[in-house]
Amino acid sequence: MKHNIYVYLGIMAAITYAIRVLPLTLIRRQIKNRFLRSFLYYVPYVTLAVMTFPAILESTQSPVAGAAALAVGIIAAWCGAGLFPVSVSCCAVVFVLELFII
């Protein structure tokens, strides 16, 4: 059975276009529902977290080092550290754990 790549590309383009156009055509007024507004507000953050969380644990040689770096990063961010200090502390934890302990 021979597959035509142009059919697949056309279907993909149509679905991508529909995903972007349907909300614009179906929702014409401002969304006033408080729950829906808060849900839509947090969608980008959840999407980013879902994409990065597995990478944090799997990008190191040992999942223990990744989990320790994640814990240190969460604690540093919770204490008010910026993006650069959090990333440096996470990298330092992974470096130390993989070099000396694991």
pTM: 0.61
**Rounded mean pLDDT, 14-40:** 88
Cα distance between residue 94 and residue 67, in whole Å: 9
Q: Does residue 1 register a pLDDT over 70?
A: no
Overall number of domains in the chain: 1
For 92, the domain range is 5-101
